[in-house]
Chain A
Amino acid sequence: EVQLVQSGAEVKKPGESLKISCKGSGYSFTSYWIGWVRQMPGKGLEWMGIIYPGDSDTRYSPSFQGQVTISADKSISTAYLQWSSLKASDTAMYYCARLGYGDEAEFDYWGQGTLVTVSS
């Protein structure tokens, strides 16, 4: 059974750093892209970026380029989303999801989400 299990909720102050995780199981972790999706409170889904754990090829949406870092450790089947200096506007739910096969693939499996709250 394919599963993506994300790390727990975080409460941080502006300016702090943060790294959240997404552990995949039940499939070949290095053979599928993993993506991150942001959902701000009461808002819609936003495509942030994706990573191919096999070779760490990474692509960012222009809105998120330079704002976050996506990485992966294939030895432990885990993808990460990282901030170096959080802002209050980073408060949101963050989902990881697996990209299926194909050039225009869908997100076929999703993590449960990690709630990040940034407040002074």
Chain B
Amino acid sequence: SYVLTQPPSVSVAPGKTARITCGGNNIGSKSVHWYQQKPGQAPVLVIYYDSDRPSGIPERFSGSNSGNTATLTISRVEAGDEADYYCQVWDSSSDRGVFGTGTKVTVL
């Protein structure tokens, strides 16, 4: 089955840029979605189809996808961005969805 690998944690100072990677075999050929999950809450979609933002999601959130790595970028990080972030793709070989391992973003 298709495997998505994320770094367990990323630390960033307020106002700086956080980059969260999602690695997968030829992931650039797939559509990648990103979810934010704060403690005790349900996940929230923050990026879909590699780089689109749902309404209500700040422009500080952006995404890219190429080769074997997709990236979620959070610019001008704020304390409220502290959360777990998950990437997700559709595995065409099994016709099922797959989530990444998740990354905990800590704002210093």
Contacts and interface: CB of A to CB of B under 8 A. Distances in A.
A46 to B, nearest CB: 7
Nearest to B99: A45
Interface in A34-84: 35, 37, 44-47, 49-50, 59-62
A112 interface: yes
B97 A35 contact: yes
A110 B102 CA distance: 18
Given A62-B1, A95-B42, A106-B48, A45 B102 contact: yes
Interface of A: 35, 37, 44-47, 49-50, 59-62, 95, 97, 100, 102-108, 110-113
B101 interface: yes
A106 to B, nearest CB: 4
Nearest to A60: B96
Contact of A59 (B45, B84, B96): B96
